[in-house]
Amino acid sequence: MIHVISEHIENKRYPSLYRSVDALVQASRGEGWGRPHQEAMSMSLPVIATNWSGTMVFMTETNSFLVPVQRMETLAVGPFKGHQWAIPSVVELRKILRAAVTYPERGRDVGLQARKDIWWRRILLSM
């Protein structure tokens, strides 16, 4: 079952939210750093996200499910005018979601690798 959450979530609710789901799906147009991605990965959740932006510093093909970018779009108005957004491939996202449901053991393996990678990254950054 898929649930879309469109309202604000208080920080204290995130751990229980992560524990209640099988994966974090965030196929967005761009991320600054990707705090939810890192939090989910640190809890061994598989993350399905756009292969673009700040999250590519820590997300890889072995620790995440990366949604290919269909095309880039330049913003014409607003405070980010001139910046580019990624348009994730809906076709590929559907394939990834279908595979995640069909092969849940693959998601568990990816989630465990994500946890290892995130924790090692935190240790290295703290040195």
Residue 123 clears pLDDT 70, i.e. is over it: no
Domains annotated on the chain, with CATH:
11-126 (3.40.50.2000)
> How many CA atoms lie within 13 Å of 72's alpha carbon, on the beta-carbon side?
7
Q: Tell me the per-residue pLDDT of 2-13, one tens digit each, with 9 for 90 and over.
A: 778 889 989 999
Residue 65 clears pLDDT 80, i.e. is over it: yes
43, burial (CB in 10 Å: exposed 0-12, middle 13-18, buried 19+): middle
> How many CA atoms lie within 13 Å of 125's alpha carbon, on the beta-carbon side?
8
Residue 69's SS3 state is strand
Residue 126 clears pLDDT 70, i.e. is over it: no
- Say which DSSP state 122 is in: H
| Average predicted confidence (pLDDT) for the chain | 92
